[in-house]
Structure 1
Amino acid sequence: MTTTLPLIGVTSGLRLESESQQTSELYVARRYLNALEDAGGLGVPLPIVRTEAEAEQLLDRLDGLLLTGGADIPPDYYGEDRHPATKDLPRERVESELTLVRRALELDKPLLAICYGHQLLCVALGGTLYQHIGGDVQSDLEHRPSGGARAALHPVTVTPSRLARIVKEETCEVPSSHHQCVKEPPTVCEVTARAPDGIIEALEHKGTRFVVGVQWHPELARQDPWSRRLFDAFVGECAG
């Protein structure tokens, strides 16, 4: 008997031609697909969508949505002036993903947002961002790697919440690679984890089936039980 795996849309990064600045390549890091596969799901790399109708056609065929990492959201999307350290992602990607997120929320699709995806979820729901840790917000904690490492490691404290029930840990050592973070969380979201410096590390949408954003990279910690539990819970909701 063949088992039907839940199909989970995975947002794609963009590479641009240096001269024309036109999209030349879409890509998804294999680690996201591996994490979903390990949990019993099938990741589907997504194209750029340009209309709500395109987003709806895609999401009607999918069981969930995973928002991957990336660079920075242009600050005019959340009403801020540009910080010199901000490195914009192509607006083509940002617009596509905002459209996908809003339609996924309307359809109550399970959604897991990682790093930049967590920040995008915040902005999509009306929140704002600090553009540079160490500039806009002071911290001595290392949130992005140095010396060629893939990620910095630091603890987060998880508050009583759905996330806490999933990971079954009050404190997790998480791999981190970001210089921006949530400033004002959306009113519809609950803050469910923080770093020791107070930076918001996780959000949950209070009125949905499963919408969780984490500032860290759980796909880089698949050896840790809490990380596997997070992907298992997400894929389980997608299979639901």
Structure 2
Amino acid sequence: MNKSTQPTIGITTFNQNEDGQYHVKNTFVQAIRRCGGLPILLPPGQPEESAAILEVVDGLIFSGGGDLDPATYNGEYHPAISSVDSTRDAFELKLFNQASSSDIPMLGICRGLAVMAVSCGASLISHIPLEFGKLVVHTGDSEESVKHQVAINPQSHLASIMEATTVEVVSMHHQSIRTLPTGWRLAARAIDGVVEAIECEYHPWAIGVQWHPELAIDNPQQLRIFEALVETARVRKIRNQNRRLNLVQHP
């Protein structure tokens, strides 16, 4: 592998736990390494750090975690809402907002999809069972208990990446977006109608999935999502390197 063209993928993390540790599921790191990328963990910090981060990374993953504060989307509180972290909310919303003005590829997973959607003006369903019932189990105590099918839009970028229009996914969420934000298209739904994936129409590569592909990286279909992100980031890095080289040779 040519290390000079190896893309750096920034992965957002949980805020500090009781032991003062930032953390994220290790399979995120495994997935990026397996696909040829260099993973870098991004702990929640000051929103003004976003510009500096975007100078360092070639791609971004907005990972899962606790619920967004309902105040970020003018939503209503529900007892099921948990692990709200205003520091992480502010950091990730600003990071996505700045990144969306660039061509950096971005993948949102579970909470990460919510970050993308809310940043673009969407609202969230506070608790899925209240509006969609329990036809599909979207969250539970084990990965096996929350596997279900989703239908992928055949015309979507996601369908071409996963090479499928129906896939089994592992999900761990009790919320979903209520309506598509402006400039985004539907990429996948569960059979109960819950939105499971969205794609940005005005950005070269910005996809949000409600499920957790990092919990199924031994499944080739799920790994393809990370492969596509890393490859897009690699191409972008090479293009930027060539552009800088041309500026040096032809100032």
Q: In the alignment, which residue of structure 2 is the partner of 1:6?
A: 7
Residue 36 of structure 1 contacts residue 42 of structure 1 at CA under 8 Å; is this kept in 2? yes
Structure 1 position 48, deviation (Å): 2.4
2:125 to 130, 139, 162: 130
Q: 1-side partners of 2:16 and 2:44: how far apart?
A: 12
Q: Percent identity?
A: 35
TM-score relative to the length of structure 1? 0.92
TM-score relative to the length of structure 2? 0.88
1:158 to 148, 152, 162: 152
What's the C-alpha RMSD, in Å, of the aligned pairs? 1.6
Structure 1 position 182, deviation (Å): 0.9
Q: Deviations over 1:117-160 (max 9, x none)?
A: 111111111111101111243232111123x4466100000002
Task: Give the gaps of 5 or more residues in structure 2.
Answer: 236-251
Q: In the alignment, which residue of structure 2 is the partner of 1:189?
A: 184
Q: In the alignment, which residue of structure 2 is the partner of 1:233?
A: 228
Q: 2-side partners of 1:197 and 1:142: how far apart?
A: 10
2:91 to 79, 89, 96: 96
Q: In the alignment, which residue of structure 1 is the partner of 2:244?
A: none
- Indicate the structure with greater helix content: 2
The count of corresponding residues between Structure 1 and Structure 2 is: 233
Q: 2-side partners of 1:180 and 1:151: how far apart?
A: 17
Q: Deviations over 1:63-85 (max 9, x none)?
A: 01101110100111111120121
- Compare CA radii of gyration and give the structure with the larger one: 2
1:205 to 194, 200, 206: 200
Check if 1:71 corresponds to 2:72: no
Check if 1:110 corresponds to 2:111: no
Q: 1-side partners of 2:146 and 2:198: how far apart?
A: 20
Match of 2:152, as an amino acid? V
Secondary structure at the aligned position of 1:100 is classed as helix
- Indicate the structure with greater strand content: 1
Q: In the alignment, which residue of structure 1 is the partner of 2:22?
A: 26
Match of 1:71, as an amino acid? G
Q: 1-side partners of 2:36 and 2:147: how far apart?
A: 27
Change (3 A) 1:191 1:235: same
Task: Give the gaps of 5 or more residues in structure 1.
Answer: 18-22
Secondary structure at the aligned position of 2:9 is classed as strand
Q: Give 4+ residue runs of structure 1 displaced > 2 Å after superposition.
A: 1-4, 136-139, 148-151
Q: 2-side partners of 1:15 and 1:236: how far apart?
A: 31
Check if 1:45 corresponds to 2:41: yes
